[in-house]
Chain A
Amino acid sequence: MRTAHRDHPNYWAFVVHRVSGVLLALFLPVHFQVLYMGLNDAAQFDKFLTWTHLPIVKAAETVLILILAAHLTGGLRLLAIEFLPWRNGQKTIVSITAGLSLVIALVYLLNAA
């Protein structure tokens, strides 16, 4: 079945917002586990911090920041649609949120490198 009716930037923005939300929800338990480790087991936490210096982990963190930024900017876009007067140029706004998310992830990567 063809699904060309979904082929437009605002639908892609919806998908990105939903998928990034699910991925962040899956990440949160890991995040809290590490916080728990930091409070209760200093030695293991130090080992964990050494592991985070690996390049592949830095790359994964950059992807995580990209997902977080995409969810944040996408959420702000939706709040603007629902609570502010309507603005034309919604596709431009989607482009701005995508570009802003990439900039945030790249700034993180440059600082991490």
Chain B
Amino acid sequence: MSRETLTVAVWRGAEKGRYQKYEVPRQESQTVLDVITYIQRHIDPSLSYRFACRVGVCGSCAMTVNGSPRWTCRTHVDKVLDDTGQLDVAPLRNLEVIKDLSVDMTDFFDKWAKAKGQFHGSETRHDDFSAVSPDSPQRKVASAGIECIGCGVCYSACDVVAWNKDYLGPAALNRAWTLMNDERDVAGIDRLKAVAGAGGCQACHSQQGCVERCVKHLNPTGAIAGLKRATAIAALKGQLK
């Protein structure tokens, strides 16, 4: 790499494809998303990728950068260049590649639904607001996991997802755990049944790749461990039949 340009190898194709190299002008505070956007706008308009907010809110620009899943809009090139000075950008692992850097997130979000990631309350619009103390231990556990932006980085970092196609994955199980600790939610036992089956929380090997890579510094392994304890207690009480 010269000081003025950066050599970037970008995945082109779908499941089968190859890395194509591009030379991109180097800029101060340049993010990986800046690099990909430059390629698409100035070198090769056929390059497909996904982004929206560019400021780390929407969770749509995650890609594999030098072997690790990352949110590209908040990943500075300076931070990820290795000794060779080359940048490799590929689509997220564990999701079907549509084209180039765009992956199909259908499985990822379907698994949120399978883990019963929807809120089920018992009150109606005619009831008063629920009073939930932010200092209650249960609410603190729920609050610790609710900032997930659904970017798929944890799902891509998880080897269990790669080995077991039925595994619900860190994000869906983290969502289930936040709802288990939401005192307004009434679907607890159904949710525990959903996450206790094959591909559920017990499939996690506590490798903690999700914790290591989560862009929001959440703790899906801790959430999954909570589900393991909750399902074990429910099973002992005979509630999972």
Contact = CB atoms under 8 A, between A and B. Distances in A.
Nearest to A8: B212
* Band of interface residues on A: 10 to 19
A14 B207 contact: yes
Given A4-B68, A5-B68, A5-B157, A81 B209 contact: no
A14 B219 contact: no
Contacts of A7: 68
A32 interface: no
Contact of A10 (B67, B88, B207, B229): B207
A10 B225 contact: no
A6 B212 CA distance: 9
B66 interface: yes
Which of B156, B208, B228, B229 has most chain A Cβ within 10 Å?
A: B208
A111 interface: no
B156 to A, nearest CB: 7
B207 A11 contact: yes
A90 to B, nearest CB: 6
* Band of interface residues on B: 20 to 34
Contact of B209 (A8, A78, A86): A8
Contacts of A83: 229
B93 interface: yes
A10 B206 contact: yes
A2 B88 contact: yes
A82 interface: yes
Contacts of B191: none
B209 A11 contact: yes
Given A6-B159, A82-B206, 12 more contacts: A1-B67, A5-B64, A5-B67, A5-B93, A5-B157, A10-B209, A10-B211, A10-B212, A14-B206, A86-B219, A86-B222, A90-B208
